[in-house]
Amino acid sequence: MSQWIDRAAAPPPDAPRDWKQAIGQGFRCRCPACGEGKLFGKFLKVKPECEVCGTEFSGHRADDLPPYITIMIVGHVIVPLFLVAERNANWPDWLHMTVWLSLTSLLTMALIQPVKGATIAYQWALRLHGFDPAGDIHESPAKG
């Protein structure tokens, strides 16, 4: 059984891509091309293509950068809060561990998927890796 894909929903391949809009759509875990289709099939598993416009996502290279960005964001939120709490409250160590480990874990889990979506969308907007149909076709040199 085949699905009908509306190829007209996607912009032409040579059209300039707005990276700001793409990042916003990627952060919302939507297709950077049309803004309608879902980017993820599972929590961090990217779909092979958009079910609305047919844009392929298989060429993305968003493996290491999203965790680094997430760590930077979460660290910049948690560390100041921890320092304020440490300075102004006399919490026991077990409470510090419970609060800060829980908050760090929750923020990380909440941000990793949107950050990965934004990273993939940015790659799409700049036509990096597999997102440029004309630029990534390379034949391996013949051995001999």
- Over residues 51-75, the mean pLDDT reads 92
- Name the least confident of 18-22, 45-49, 57-61, 120-124: 57-61
The 10s digit of each residue's pLDDT in 78-101 is 999 999 999 999 999 999 999 999
The beta-carbon contacts of 43-47 under 8 Å, at least 24 apart in sequence, are: 43/113, 44/112, 44/113, 44/116, 46/116, 46/120
Q: Which residue from 61, 37, 48 is spatially nearest to 116, judged by alpha carbons?
A: 61
- Over residues 30-58, the mean pLDDT reads 92
Flag whether pLDDT at 30 surpasses 90: yes
- Whether the full predicted model's pTM is greater than 0.75, yes or no, is yes
Take residue 5 and report the two structure tokens written for it. Answer: 């894909």
- Name the least confident of 5-9, 29-33, 102-106, 112-116: 5-9
Determine the angle formed by the axes of helices 19-27 and 93-125, rounding to 10 degrees: 140
- How far apart are the C-alpha atoms of 87 and 142, rounded to whole Å? 66
Report how far Cα 81 is from the mean position of its chain's Cα atoms.
Answer: 26
Number of H helices, E strands in the chain: 3, 0
**Residue whose structure tokens are 């293509």:** 49
Identify whether the C-beta of residue 114 lies closer than 8 Å to the C-beta of residue 27.
Answer: yes
